[in-house]
Copies of this chain bind each other. A is one copy, B any other.
Amino acid sequence: MSSYPLQELASALDGVDVTLDPRRIRVKSRDRYAISPLLRDMLADKQADAVVTPKTLDELKHVVSTAVRLRIPITVRGGGSANYGQSVPLKGGIVLDMTAYSGIVALGNGTIRARAGTLVAEMDLAAKATGWELRMHPTTARIATIAGYVAGGTGGPGSVAYGILRDRGNIAAVQVLTMEEQPRLLELTGPDAQLAHHTYGATGIITEVEMPLAPAWPWIEALVAFPDYLQAVRFGVSLAQQTGITRKVVSVQEWPVPRLIQPFAPLVPEGHSICSTMIAKGNLVDFEGLVAAHGGTVVSTAPEGQGPYGAPIWEFVFGHALFQIQKTDPRRSVIEGFFRAPDLPALVERVHAKVGHYGPMRMEILRVGGDVVGSGAPYFVYENPQQMADLVLAMQEAGAVVSNSHSSNVRSVGKKEITPRDLAFKREVDPHGLLNPGRFEADDSADAKFAIELPTDQWDKRQA
C-alpha cells in the first residue's frame, strides 16, 4: 500500500481526471526504457499510485497545490517515448499525464508556441502549413509531446544544421509552473529556457513551450550506399560540413545494419554501409556531386515520408534505429558514444578499430556547440553489465566520450551541464523536492542510485 494520502487526494481533486486503476497506472508508469536491458530490470517495479490528467491550467494549478499540501510527489509524463525511463516514478505518487493539456497557442514571427501536451508532429505540421517547420524534432515526433522533448530530449533530425536543444537559441521560451502550494507561472526566455531543459521534469512543470522555426524545404530522403563503413563516415562528416547544402539528417550505419533494418534490405547491396540523409530538393545536384566525389551510390530517393521503407527516414535514425533493429534482433543494444575531434573520421576509425568487433556501428552526424560531431557506438548483442562496461572503457580508451544511456537520472546520464544557477532554480521552483524525486535533486546525494553504474563520462568530459 502507498504511504501517500490517496483518498484525500482523490477527494480534493474532484472533477479532475484522476485514476487509481492499477492497469492504467501500470501503463502510464512506463516509457520506452525497455530498449535498455539494464533499465528493464532496474525500473521493473517502479510505478505511480495515481495518474492525474489535467485539461486546463486551473485544473493543473489545483493538482499542484493539492499535491504540495499533501506532500505527494509528481512525475510529469508526456507521450511516454523517452528511452532513459525519465518518466517512471521512482517514489510512487502522482504521474501527471500532460497529454490532455495541448494545443497550439501562437504561430508566427519565426516561432511556434504550444501547450505542454501538444504532439511535436502536430506543431511541425501546423508550422509547415505556413512554410515553416521546427528546426529539429525527436525521431518520436509522432508520439512525443513538446514538453517531453524539452524536458527529456537532446536533439534529432535537424541537429546537423542547428545543433541540439542545449545550444543557445534552440528553445525560444518555456513556461513552467512552480511546485508550490501557491503555484506560480514563470516565463523562461532565451538562455533561461535551459533551466527547464533535460531535467526530466524536476525543475518546474512545463506548461507551454515556444520553439524557433526553420524554413520548410521540400525534403528529399536519400539513402546512399558505400562499400566501406569509414568511407560512409567520411562522406557523412563532409556532408554535415556543407553549409551550402541544406541537410536535415546525416546518419551512417555500418553493414549489416541495412540487413538488420529489414525495410532497407531490398535497397542496399550486400556488404554496403549506408548514409541516410534528408536534403533540400533544390540542393540535390550538389548533393549528388558530393556523393560521387566520395565514391557512394544513391540507392533510393523519395520525398519526405514516401520512401519504399514505409516510414519517414527519420524514424530509422538516432535512437529510433535501435527500435528498427530490435524488430529483427531483440538482443541488440547500444551505448552512447560521443565523438568530437578536429579530424572526426580519424577518431571514428580509431574507435572502430577497437570496438568494431562488438557489432556494426552507427554514427549520427550532427552539430553540437557549432562543431560537427558524431554520436554512435556498435550495436552489440547484450550479454551482461560487465560486457557493457568493457565496451564503455574500450571506447573511452580510443578517444570517445560515453554517456550512460542505461541510467535514469540527470547526473548519471551525464548530458546536462549543471551550474549553481540550475541548483538554485531547482530549489526555487520545487522547494519540497516533490518533482520526479531521485532524478535531479538539489543535493546530488539525494539522487536515486542505480544498481549498476557504468564507467561513463560526466558532463565535463563532453566539453572536451
Interface residues of A (CB under 8 A from B): 109-111, 131, 135, 161-163, 167-170, 172, 189-191, 212, 214-215, 217, 238, 240-246, 280-283, 285-290, 342, 367, 369-372
> A191 and B289: CB pair below 8 A?
yes
A102 to chain B, nearest CB (A): 24
A-B contact pairs, 21 of them (CB 8 A): A109-B282, A110-B217, A161-B243, A162-B244, A163-B242, A167-B243, A167-B244, A168-B289, A169-B245, A169-B283, A169-B286, A172-B282, A189-B285, A190-B289, A191-B285, A212-B282, A212-B283, A238-B370, A240-B370, A243-B367, A342-B342
Residues from chain B with a CB closer than 8 A to the CB of A162 are: 243-244
With contact pairs A168-B290, A288-B190, A342-B342 given, residues A371 and B282 touching in the complex (Cβ less than 8 Å):
no
> A242 and B167: CB pair below 8 A?
yes
Residues from chain B with a CB closer than 8 A to the CB of A371 are: 241
A contact face: mostly helix, strand, loop, or mixed: mixed
- Give the CA-CA distance A240 to B167 in the complex, in Å: 13
> B369 and A241: CB pair below 8 A?
yes
Residues from chain B with a CB closer than 8 A to the CB of A244 are: 135, 162-163, 167-170, 212
Residues from chain B with a CB closer than 8 A to the CB of A109 are: 281-282
> A163 and B243: CB pair below 8 A?
yes
Add 7 more A-B contacts to A163-B244, A168-B286, A212-B244 (CB < 8 A): A135-B244, A162-B244, A168-B242, A189-B285, A190-B286, A241-B369, A242-B370
> A110 and B280: CB pair below 8 A?
yes
A135 to chain B, nearest CB (A): 8
Residues from chain B with a CB closer than 8 A to the CB of A287 are: 169
- Give the CA-CA distance A372 to B111 in the complex, in Å: 27
